[in-house]
Amino acid sequence: MFSAISSSGVSLGEIRIKCETERGSPGDEAGLAQAFVAHNEAVKATIPAERLLVYEIKDGWEPLCAFLDVPTPTEAFPRTNDRSEFWDLVQGKG
């Protein structure tokens, strides 16, 4: 099992716990958003930049393949689970 430890000796598990205890009550959207940002910043501070891909699925194959140093596939990037598909699944239509 992989466990990332920062140069200060803080594990990602400790970061997760810190975010969970600092975010406020369930339903506290501002607190959850703040915890999300804090977690992402802690990960970026912990993992060396050359070993971390901050990836958005909307960016498709190129950044992912470049990071993994593999050829970009010729087929289109799969686009599933869009908003309408998600709500269809939630409402039992899918």
Which tens digit of pLDDT belongs to each residue from 29-86? 888 888 889 999 999 999 999 999 999 988 999 999 999 999 999 999 987 767 888 8
Global pTM? Answer: 0.54
- Tell me: pLDDT of 5 over 50: no
Q: What is the pLDDT of residue 91?
A: 85
Q: What is the pLDDT of residue 73?
A: 96
Q: What is the pLDDT of residue 70?
A: 97
Residues pairing with 17 in the sheet: none
Give 22-90 as a DSSP string.
HS-STT-HHHHHHHHHHHHHHHHHHS-GGG-----GGG-HHHHHHHHT-PPPSSPPP----HHHHHHHH
- Tell me: pLDDT of 18 over 70: no
